[in-house]
Structure 1
Amino acid sequence: MASHDYVHGYSERESVRLSDQANTLEELLHSDTKYPAGSKVLEAGCGIGAQTIILSRNSPHAQITSIDISEESLDKARRFAAKEEVQNVQFRVESIFDLPFEDESFDHVFICFVLEHLNEPVKALASLRRVLKKGGTITVIEGDHGSCFTHPETGAGVKAWNSLVEVQAKLGGNSLIGRQVYPLLKRAGFTEITVSPRMVYSDSSRPQMEEGFVKRTIIPMVEGVRESAIEMEIIDAETFDRGIEDLHRTAEEFGTFNYMFFKGVGRK
Structure 2
Amino acid sequence: MTEYVHGYSEREALRLSEQAETLEKLLHHDTVYPPGAKVLEAGCGIGAQTVILAKNNPDAEITSIDISPESLEKARENTEKNGIKNVKFLQANIFSLPFEDSSFDHIFVCFVLEHLQSPEEALKSLKKVLKPGGTITVIEGDHGSCYFHPEGKKAIEAWNCLIRVQAYMKGNSLVGRQIYPLLQESGFEKIRVEPRMVYIDSSKPELVDGFILKTIIPMVEGVKEQSLKMQIIKEEEWEKGIEELHKTAEHGGTFCYTFFKGWGTK
Which digits, 9 at most, give the CA deviation of each residue in 1:144-173, with x for residues without a partner? 000001000011000000000000000000
Aligned position for 2:108? 110
Q: Does 1:38 align with 2:67?
A: no
Distance across 2 between alignment mates of 1:127 and 1:232: 33
Matches for 1:1-268 after TM superposition, within 5 Å: 1-2=1-2, 5-268=3-266
C-alpha deviation, 1:86, in angstroms: 0.5
Residues 170-229 of structure 1, C-alpha deviations (whole Å, 9 max, x = no match): 000000010000000000000000100000000000001100000000000000000000
Instruction: State the number of aligned residues.
Output: 266
Q: Which amino acid aligns with 1:147?
A: S
The separation in 1 between residues aligned to 2:173 and 2:236, in whole angstroms, is 24
SS at match of 1:201: strand
230-239 vs 133-142, greater mean Cα deviation: 230-239
**Which residue type is aligned with residue 185 of structure 2?**
R
d(CA) in 1 for partners of 2:17 and 2:10? 11
Q: Give 1:141 deviation, angstroms.
A: 0.2
1:95-149 deviations in Å (ceiling 9; x for gaps): 0000010000000000000000001000000000000000000000000000001
| Counterpart Cα distance in 2 of 1:54 and 1:117 | 21
State the superposition RMSD in angstroms.
0.5
Paired letter, 1:101: F
> Equivalent residue of 2:144, what SS?
strand
- 2:103 and 2:233 map into 1 onto residues whose CA distance is 46
For 1:240 and 1:6, the matched residues in 2 are separated by 21
For residues 19-54 of structure 1, the C-alpha deviation after alignment (integer angstroms, 9 at most, x for no partner) is 000000000000000111000000000000000000
Q: Secondary structure at the match of 1:139?
A: strand
Counterparts of 1:52 and 1:154, CA distance in 2: 36
**What CA distance in whole angstroms lies between the structure 1 residues aligned with 2:98 and 2:76?**
21
Match of 2:128, as an amino acid?
A: R
- Residue 235 of structure 2 aligns with an amino acid whose one-letter code is A
| Gap runs ≥5 in structure 1 | none
Identity %: 64
Structure 1 length-normalised TM: 0.99
Q: What is the DSSP-based 3-state SS (H/G/I as helix, E as strand, rest coil) of the residue aligned with 1:97?
A: coil
CA drift at 1:85: 0.9
What is the CA–CA distance in structure 1 between the aligned matches of 2:78 and 2:187, rounded to whole Å? 35
Q: 4+ residue stretches of structure 1 with deviation over 4 A?
A: none
